[in-house]
């Protein structure tokens, strides 16, 4: 009987140690940092600021707040896997991700751990709108988690990495370019995503390593360090491989 009474006492002691000592205490007790999410989870929030509009109504009918919140979490966890960030200490310090459906032009953008999605775009989209918005959210969530070389990485590469994550999550739209398409490696979006997929096929984990290097700065030489060839050479090889 006395042994059973020790269980809640020990559990309380462990939580106290975690609070006082942080993740070091977790490693001492052989608990992975991800277990902390049960104590201090990332907060996901979705707000429809376009209620009463065609896009706001379609969002409610076809997608919904609950589903969108689940995608914010799933996309975050997928990013951690793609970027090889199994430990919380390896990731950007993000406490919450908020999505807002807005009456605005364009498709979506991410800023300051917030994602703004266009209700106008949702209203006018002619295909599977739920799948499309899911892919858009994977892209925008990537912008929240990825490193950007302290603002020095090419914009096309930043967008390409976001679309690469969308591609690997199997939410690429049918209208994307096929492998080998495009004019420049840093053209961005689907063009750069396809190129990065090729680079990752040469070295599994390349995109994760590239993102890791971009934590504190950026150089095209990262491609040489990781793949042994400069990025222009890799682009020529890529175009040759796919015959265009």
User: Could you give the CA distance from residue 12 to residue 92 in angstroms, rounded to a whole number?
Assistant: 29
| pLDDT number for residue 206 | 99
Going by C-alpha positions, the residue among 132, 142, 137 that lies closest to residue 174 is 132
| pLDDT number for residue 40 | 60
- pLDDT tens across the length of the chain (244 residues): 444 444 444 444 444 443 444 434 334 334 444 444 455 689 999 999 999 999 999 999 999 999 999 999 999 999 999 999 999 999 999 999 999 999 999 999 999 999 999 999 999 999 999 999 999 999 999 999 999 999 999 999 999 999 999 999 999 999 999 999 999 999 999 999 999 999 999 999 999 999 999 999 999 999 999 999 999 999 999 999 998 7
Residues 77 and 37 sit within 8 Å (Cβ to Cβ): no
Provide the residue ranges of all domains of the chain, joining segments of one domain with +: 42-145, 152-244
E strands in the chain: 43-48, 96-102, 108-111, 114-118
Residues 223 and 196 sit within 8 Å (Cβ to Cβ): no
pTM (2 decimals)? 0.84
Beta bridge partners of 18: none
In this structure, whether the domain defined by 42-145 belongs to CATH 3.40.50.2300 is answered with no
Q: How far is CA 76 from CA 71, 84, 208, in A?
A: 8, 12, 14
């Amino acid at each position: 009987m006395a042994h059973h009474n020790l269980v809640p006492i020990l559990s309380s002691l462990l939580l106290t140690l975690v609070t006082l000592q942080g993740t070091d205490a977790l490693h001492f007790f052989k608990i992975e940092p991800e277990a902390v999410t049960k104590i201090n989870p990332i907060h996901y929030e979705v707000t429809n600021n376009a209620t009463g509009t065609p896009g706001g109504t379609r969002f409610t009918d076809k997608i919904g707040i609950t589903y969108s919140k689940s995608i914010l979490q799933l996309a975050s966890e997928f990013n951690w896997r793609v970027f090889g960030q199994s430990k919380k200490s390896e990731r950007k310090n993000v406490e919450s991700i908020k999505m807002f459906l807005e009456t605005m032009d364009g498709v979506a953008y991410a800023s300051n751990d917030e994602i703004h999605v266009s209700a106008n775009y949702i209203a006018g989209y002619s295909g599977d709108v739920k799948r499309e918005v899911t892919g858009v959210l994977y892209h925008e969530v990537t912008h929240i988690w990825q490193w950007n070389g302290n603002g020095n990485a090419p914009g096309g590469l930043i967008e390409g990495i976001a679309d690469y994550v969308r591609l690997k999550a199997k939410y690429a739209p049918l209208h994307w370019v096929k492998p080998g398409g495009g004019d420049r490696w840093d053209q961005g979006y689907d063009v750069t995503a396809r190129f990065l997929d090729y680079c990752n096929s040469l070295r599994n984990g390349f995109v994760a390593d590239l993102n890791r290097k971009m934590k504190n700065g950026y150089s095209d030489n990262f491609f040489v360090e990781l793949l042994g060839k400069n990025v222009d050479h890799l682009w020529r090889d890529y175009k040759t491989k796919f015959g265009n």
